[in-house]
Amino acid sequence: MIPLCLGNLSGHLIDLDLQSNNLHGTIPKTFVKGYYLKSLKFNDNQLKGSLPQSLVHCRKLEVLDFGNNKINITFPSWLGTLPKLRVLILRSNSFHGAIGNPKTKFMRIIDLSHNEFHGILPTNVFKYLKALMKANVDKGQLKYMGNKYYQDSVIVVMKGFFIEMLKIQSLFTTIDFSNNNFKGGIPKAVGKLRSLKGLNFSHSNLIGCMPPSLGNFTNLECGNLGLYGFPLAKSCGNDEEQPPPPSSITQEDDFKFENGFHWKVVLLGYGCGFIFGLGLGYLVFSSGTPKWLVNIV
Q: Mark whether 56 and 189 lie in a shared domain.
A: yes
Task: Please count the structural domains in the chain.
Answer: 2
pLDDT in tens, the chain (297 residues): 988 888 777 667 888 899 999 999 999 888 877 678 889 999 999 999 999 888 888 888 999 999 999 999 999 988 888 989 999 999 999 999 998 877 777 788 999 999 999 999 888 888 888 878 876 655 556 677 766 677 778 888 877 788 888 888 778 889 999 999 999 999 888 988 888 889 999 998 999 888 888 888 888 887 766 666 666 666 655 544 444 444 444 444 444 444 444 555 555 666 666 676 767 666 666 666 555 545 544
Q: Are residues 279 and 168 in the same domain?
A: no
Residue 124 lies in a domain: yes
Same domain, 28 and 154: yes
CATH number for position 39: 3.80.10.10
Say whether both 41 and 137 belong to one domain: yes
Q: Does the residue 245 lie in any domain?
A: no
Going by the DSSP 8-state scheme, the letter that residue 279 receives in this structure is H
* Residue 240 included in any domain: no
Distance between CA atoms of residues 267 and 236, nearest Å: 42
Euclidean distance between CA atoms 250 and 270, whole angstroms: 24
Domain that holds residue 284: 252-296
Check whether residue 147 and residue 290 sit in a common domain.
Answer: no
User: Same structural domain for residues 163 and 264?
Assistant: no
Interior angle at CA 104, CA 4 and CA 99, nearest 5? 75
Same domain for 120 and 256, yes or no, is no
- CA dist 157 and 143 (Å) reads 21
Instruction: Note whether 150 and 15 are within 8 A (CB).
Output: yes
Looking at the domain assignment, is residue 277 inside a domain?
A: yes
pTM above 0.85, yes or no: no
